[in-house]
Amino acid sequence: MLRTNVAMTMTVGLLVLCGLSHGQESKKPFTVIGEVKAQKETKDRKNTLIDVLAPGEEKARSYHVMYDPKIKGPVASVLAAVRAAKVGERVEMECVQTNHGPAITTFRVLKKGGDTKDKK
């Protein structure tokens, strides 16, 4: 009886700890470098979706600008930089995975020859 109670308590404790650690995962940023293939505004015209083709990928992936809860909209400086980018330009952006897909946190256009034009 005591052995069963101890085993059940340990099992429940491990499950709770696993659940807590899974829920507290931080958003891990990742960097994408690629070519802008398309750019379109969202239906409400408050954000912009950008399709970027990274080297080694067969199909361009869609990204949106990160939402800022303080201003209740996308981060203004990043949104301006994304909207200024033209189709065909090489870009470097840092993103995080959200429930709505990857969101851009920093964005810059890469110049020809390896120099960068900062747009954060």
- Provide the sign of the torsion angle of the four alpha carbons 81, 86, 89, 94, taken in this order: positive
pLDDT tens per residue across span 28-58: 999 999 999 999 999 999 999 999 999 999 9
Tokens at 79, concatenated: 């949104």
pLDDT at 116 over 80: no
pTM for the model: 0.71
pLDDT tens per residue across span 69-94: 999 999 999 999 999 999 999 999 99
pLDDT at 12 over 80: no
Burial class of residue 66, CB neighbours in 10 A (0-12, 13-18, 19+): buried
Query: Could you tell me which of 86, 85, 69, 79 has the C-alpha nearest to residue 105?
Result: 79
Q: What is the pLDDT of residue 93?
A: 98
Q: What is the pLDDT of residue 68?
A: 93
**21: enclosing H helix or E strand:** helix 2-23
Average pLDDT for the chain: 85
- Tell me the Cα Rg of the chain: 21
Higher pLDDT, 116 or 27: 27
Instruction: Report the percent of the chain where pLDDT is more than 70.
Output: 72
Homologous superfamily of domain range 30-117:
Nucleic acid-binding proteins (2.40.50.140)
Query: Could you tell me which of 91, 114, 24, 103 has the C-alpha nearest to residue 62?
Result: 103
- Distance CA(24)–CA(43), nearest Å, equals 32
